[in-house]
Structure 1
Amino acid sequence: MASSTQSPEGATKEQWAELCQSVKGALLEELGPESWYLVIATVLTVSPNPQTVADFWTYLTTSEQEFSTLEAQTRLSERLRDLLIKQLTLIGAPQVLGALIPLAKKQLTEQGKTGEEERGELDLEQWSKTDFTHLHARGIEGITSIYGTLWPKIFSSFGPYRQEMGIHELSIVYGLYLSDFSILSSLETETIVYTSIQCQGHRGPSLWHVRGMGRVLGARGSDDENEKIRRIKDVLRGLKVAIMTTVEFCGPEMVQRSRLDGGSDGLQGWPNVGDVKRELGGWGDD
């Protein structure tokens, strides 16, 4: 496991390398060859020092061979952009901008640009064919892949806020953001969702997204002893270790914020994969 730091600010090349190697070693192949840097970037963005995403970019583009070319760096930038856009719905705009602006400044400096060349926020042509009904349908498909047939039951807990919150959840949160797989895949997206929520210390939602991760990987039913489910549980345990490793790298404030330490009463710790069956009845049969 990577050594803990007081803060990732000022981390050495060797410390970044150790973190990356530890995270890569924890993640099983089912999560894909690029999940490691998505996990690290997600945790850094949620952390008290989101600006260190820019330092992570510098490490990746100067020390990891796979990001040594301009083409690879352009693709990496696109994927980090999609990660940050998706996090708008998960951690809020101020926290996201705390990562995005230093990252953008770093990239612009490297390119000798000022940012004025990148205008486009007033160009609505790319949205001209966006249809709200399509977003709503895509959102239902996306949320069903995560929660299965239980999402209407969850929506019932919204009470008098159900109609408005439900429309936003289906059409905007999922339809516009979390069900757009044009850059990041459905599995990569759910990895970011689970990591973002877990790192904020929200045990209940985190457990639902442990279940969601398992479902995206193909888990169904409540028999945790069949070979396929056992393997998926191992994948999820590895992901949890990777997130924990990065949280610890971010220092004691992040450990406390994420409740990796169990929270003030010691009872708010992170859910285990076995809790899916114990508390939620399994992975769903749909």
Structure 2
Amino acid sequence: MSNNDANESLKDLCARVKSILPEQFRDDAWYLIVASVLVGCGKPSELGELYTLLVEGVSDAEEKRIKDRLSDVLMKEWTLVGIPLVVYAVSALGKAEQARLEKRGVKLESEVSEDGLLPFPEKRKNLDLDKAIPDRGTKFLQRLYRENLAPISASWGSYANDFMWMERAVIYGLFLSDHEVLSAVEAELVILSSIMTQGLAAPIIWHLRGLRRLGVSEEDTELVQQAVEAVTVWSGRSVDGWPRVKDVPDDI
């Protein structure tokens, strides 16, 4: 029986996650983990309630900051768990936002045209996809993987060139290495949380190691995993057999 089956509320789960995490993540990095795991575990609709809990009683400026951070979580997470789950999560956030505004007597003005399209945001225009974006992705990829990248890439055989382009230019380049909103460590919390929900041992090891290489101690990384596991079990998924940070075989 999961904790969710035992009727633990999402609010109580959030409090429990904060109590598990090390001090450095208890301020507002905790909800990045909760959001990532909920989506990865097939509970994207829960993000509406999470958003409502997060913005209760905060200033307009803080609400905007929270919204920007949740948006960035989902921008990164689609590369890790897939678009359909993320689209559901975005819709849940949109509905929760609209409900909050209606309570305040504010109407959200839509920019959606009759054909359903929207203009691109300014920061998404004129991206240098030939050099700057792949270079940024490459630097973050190498920061996390170091000497471990070569054997992973070698295992891809004749598919390697296409998929290394995707990693450097798209997955890491456009998304995971964009640290304008979330820091490198916060981005890695999203990456690790999303990958852990899939239970794949090797990628879990890669990103436990990656978090360590970004300066998080072994003890604090273990607490991050315990927080991820709490949300995963609440969501009805098993965490049996997951590797732990003590199982990372490489020097940090």
Matched, 1:129 2:123: no
Whole-angstrom CA distance in 1 between matches of 2:148 and 2:242 = 22
TM-score, normalised with respect to structure 2 = 0.88
Whole-angstrom CA distance in 1 between matches of 2:118 and 2:170 = 19
How far apart are 1:126 and its partner, in Å?
A: 3.7
1:158–1:121 Cα change, 3 Å: farther
User: Over residues 90-149 of structure 1, what are the superposed CA-to-partner deviations in whole Å (9 max), with x where a residue is unaligned?
Assistant: 011001111111111221232244562367833375444311211111111010111013
How far apart are 1:183 and its partner, in Å?
A: 0.2
Q: What is the match of residue 251 of structure 2? A: 282
Which consecutive residues of structure 2, in runs of 5 or more, have no partner in the other structure?
A: none
Which consecutive residues of structure 1, in runs of 5 or more, have no partner in the other structure?
A: 219-231, 263-268
- The answer to whether the 8 Å contact 1:85/1:177 transfers is yes
Whole-angstrom CA distance in 1 between matches of 2:163 and 2:92 = 32
- The answer to whether the 8 Å contact 1:108/1:115 transfers is no
Structure 1 counterpart of 2:233, one-letter code:
E
- The answer to whether the 8 Å contact 1:86/1:177 transfers is yes
Whole-angstrom CA distance in 1 between matches of 2:218 and 2:123 = 40
Matched, 1:28 2:25: no
Q: What is the match of residue 191 of structure 2? A: 193
Whole-angstrom CA distance in 2 between matches of 1:77 and 1:97 = 15
- The answer to whether the 8 Å contact 2:208/2:248 transfers is yes
Q: Tell me the number of residue pairs that the alignment of Structure 1 and Structure 2 aligns.
A: 243
SS of residue in 1 equivalent to 2:145: helix
TM-score, normalised with respect to structure 1 = 0.78
- The answer to whether the 8 Å contact 1:31/1:235 transfers is no
Whole-angstrom CA distance in 1 between matches of 2:12 and 2:120 = 43
Q: What is the match of residue 169 of structure 2? A: 171
Of the three residues 139, 144, 166, the one matched with 1:141 is 139
The 5-angstrom pairing of residues 77-92 of structure 1 reads 77-92=67-82
Structure 2 counterpart of 1:194, one-letter code:
L
Whole-angstrom CA distance in 1 between matches of 2:204 and 2:109 = 37
How far apart are 1:198 and its partner, in Å?
A: 0.2
Whole-angstrom CA distance in 1 between matches of 2:120 and 2:54 = 32
The 5-angstrom pairing of residues 82-161 of structure 1 reads 82-111=72-101, 112-113=106-107, 116-117=110-111, 121-123=118-120, 125-132=122-129, 133-161=131-159
Whole-angstrom CA distance in 1 between matches of 2:123 and 2:55 = 30
Runs of 4+ in 1 over 6 A off after TM superposition: none
Whole-angstrom CA distance in 2 between matches of 1:31 and 1:59 = 18
Of the three residues 10, 17, 27, the one matched with 2:11 is 17
1:113–1:94 Cα change, 3 Å: farther
What is the percent sequence identity of the aligned residues? 28
Matched, 1:56 2:46: no
User: Over residues 4-62 of structure 1, what are the superposed CA-to-partner deviations in whole Å (9 max), with x where a residue is unaligned?
Assistant: 1129xxx67xx333222211121113446222111111111112221011011122223
RMSD: 2.2
